[in-house]
Structure 1
Amino acid sequence: MDDSARRSMVREAMKAPYLEREQEHELALRWRQGDQNAMHQIATAHMRLVISMAGKFRHFGLPTADLIQEGHVGLLEAASRFEPDRQVRFSTYATWWIRASMQDFILRNWSIVRGGTSSAQKALFFNLRRLRARLAQDNRELTGEALYRELAEALGVPVSDVETMDARLSGSDTSLNVQVGSEGEGTAERQDFLVCDKPLPDEVVGDTIDTERRLQWLQRALKTLNPRELQIIRERRLRDEGATLESLGTTLGISKERVRQIEGRAIEKLRFALSHNEPRNRNAA
């Protein structure tokens, strides 16, 4: 919305007549019945409410025209949801939607970093500065910790949330392409120092696929074992703490030397099965 369109909207809003409760109720009923002109009259009559609220949020540094436009969206949303039979004035109902629409717009555009996602964080974002200024007017010398504690109690949030939000509001967005260091020391940018040691997404996906394939090959290989061989391999090789030869011998009713022989034979069968099932080895053969 450019300045001329905004001025035109403001003029139209100021000329729009106030609605009496009965007129408002009648228009809302007509809108419920599908009369688009009725909704337009309701919205136009309450645009001055949008303009007034936009002025309250101008200190966030965003264009007033954009705030008015977002508030108008909230106003239309309120008009579409308004239920006239609840005996509530439309202005009271619409105020919530207008404020919510403007606040969401501010949170999306005030910083490239999301300033608040939960209701508690939104309350922090929009009330922290006001409460901090109020405490400063009391002429009390509070330490940073004491100040955060009082703010947290006033807003009903953890002290850590207050500290985090205060840091966000105190700082500013910095481009990752800003050069670091003085002239003559190279052309390094801030992003050059933000190296992540974690694997790249394609590497993670590749490792996951390889792991799944190995598990499939192992499952097929295990099917070549007889029940006693499978039990010994599971107890000895596929558990975090493998069973001892002696304990397995006691369980199976055989000597530990016999357990060792069966285990060795099972391992050879697994090696053979894996070498013939795994595609690369089979192609190489």
Structure 2
Amino acid sequence: MTAQSLSFPVPSSLGSLENYIQAVNRFPILSAEEELELARRFHQQQDLEAARQLVLSHLRLVVSIARGYLGYGLPHADLIQEGNVGLMKAVKRYDPERGVRLVSFAVHWIKAEIHEYILKNWRLLKVATTKAQRKLFFNLRSLKQHEGSLSPDEVESMAQTLKVSPDDVREMETRLYGQDVSLEASSDDEDSHAFAPIAYLAAPDAEPIADIERKEREHLATTGLAQALDSLDERSRRIIQARWLNEEDPATLHELAAEYGISAERVRQIEAKALQKMRAALSH
């Protein structure tokens, strides 16, 4: 599976990054049933049209994840492109029979490709990207008379001479003379790996997709559960509550059988049917 075979839009083909983001946000989000059907078609029949629809419906996820890595000075469009490669790899490796949504599976592959791209380009970041920054870059190099950091008075003097703000001078000086930082730990010490920059490239709790997943879990644990219980008849609801929601002293099949004057096997059947009905209610 290649980007050419899927032909999904890229920023350059749509004129600008803003147009691209607007385009991918218009692609519909697949329901669980639609996603399962498409994934099976691709997994079992190598149907590239099914794979294309899976990719298109998750492009907005790549945009959201890529936005969390903008602090590394790399173009958002390039980060998205690399994330799209990870998304295609995820679709190719996704097994629809495992009971996991593609969005959860794809996050790992998208981040892995973006991490690899950052690692490869960390030392290639441009010091000056705009015309104003390039002008400041050359002027600052010519005006600075020593190798050490500029004093506050020197910063103010250069800012007045170059007709820029002191913050601009300080920022360019940092770019010019700041030391490279390794994203990965250089030793085998486990602690050093835990605190290396690669370990905190992006804050997981700050990503939109993580926030969406957290809210969905909260909904399922409260409102969703209450609605699923309401879909049951009184006896089935009592059995589920006694068996699954009473953490301190859950009832046994025999206790409930005695309560309702039926066999333990009949209680088990009612319980299984109720759980199946609740799963169906929670999936909608």
The verdict on a shared fold, with TM-score over 0.5 as the criterion, is no
Normalised to the residue count of structure 1, the TM-score between the two structures is 0.41
Q: Looking at both structures, which has the greater relative contact order when contacts are Cα pairs under 8 Å and sequence separation is at least 6? A: 2
